[in-house]
Amino acid sequence: MIVGGCGGPLSTLDTAGPASSDVATLWWVMLSGAAMLTLLVLTLLLLAFSPRNRPFKNGGRLWICWLGVAMPSAVLTALLGYALILGEGSIAEPVPGRVTVEATGHQWYWTFRQPGSNSVIATRGVLHIPVGQPVDVRVGSADVIHSFWVPRLGGKMDAIPGQINILRIQADRSGVFEGQCAEFCGLNHATNRFRVVAHDERDWARFQQEGGR
């Protein structure tokens, strides 16, 4: 469900996979909480200027113990618990048989390698994945630090020279999803873009056979 004005090729709110839609839900929950807290603070501030006699004079315990410590602690504990459970579900754990692709950041393009039916398929600028199943992306770098980010599918993962980081993405429907390098990587960082194409079952089989040609 797209709220008006939240669409766009790189929108984190126009979600197309489980990871990104979990985060979008988390965002809407946090937004409403933050709005309520802001309202609380502003109301208390305004009331301080009202001329009538105010209660809670010298109410150190109310201001400091309850509002200052207990309230934020309770809110934060609940939020942390929610976020930790959400994070737990999105960890990339090795599972045999899962589609695994290698993504390598360069100045200023991306290359991808993945096993095909006959040989290794190497692509540049476009990553092909199947719809409806999790894909492990092994993110690495050929030169400086980059970051692999397809906002409509999920969070980002840095491409750091000398190490491989694993990110799990999943597309719930077929289509083309825009990706963007998210870590500043020099002169043409702005145009360091790529695409993810999610194939349905028939297209995916054909891609694996023909290597995307």
Which CB sits closer to another protein, 5 or 96? 5
Tokens 């809407």: give the residue.
Answer: 28
Q: Which of 196, 200, 104, 87 is nearest to 150 (CA)?
A: 196
Angstrom distance (rounded) from CA 39 to CA 16: 33
Q: Which stretch binds another protein (CB under 8 A): 94-102, 110-118, 128-136, 162-170?
A: 162-170
Tell me if 185 contacts another protein by CB under 8 A.
Answer: yes
Within 13 Å, how many C-alpha atoms sit on residue 75's CB side? Answer: 14
**Min. distance of Cβ 89 from another protein in angstroms?**
9
Stretch that binds another protein, among 70-78, 123-131, 168-176, 201-209 (CB under 8 A): 70-78
| Best CA proximity match to 104, nearest among 162, 154, 153 | 162
Does residue 23 interact with another protein by CB under 8 A? yes
Going by C-alpha positions, the residue among 138, 163, 133 that lies closest to residue 148 is: 138
- Residues between 24 and 63 that touch another protein (CB under 8 A): 26-27, 30, 34, 37-38, 41-42, 44-45, 47-49, 54, 56-60, 62-63
Q: For 133-172, give one letter per residue: b (16+ CB within 10 A) or e.
A: ebbbbbbbbeebebbbbbbbbbbbbbbbeeeebebbbbbe
| Residues of this chain, 89-108, that bind another protein according to CB under 8 A | 90-91, 107
* Site membership for another protein, residue 71 (CB under 8 A): yes
Which position among 113, 165, 195, 203 is part of the footprint of another protein (CB under 8 A)?
165
For the segment 142-161, give every residue that binds another protein (CB under 8 A).
Answer: 143-145, 147, 149, 151, 154-158, 160-161
Yes or no: say if 147 and 159 are a contact pair by the CB < 8 Å rule.
Answer: yes
Least spacing, CB of residue 176 vs another protein, in Å: 13
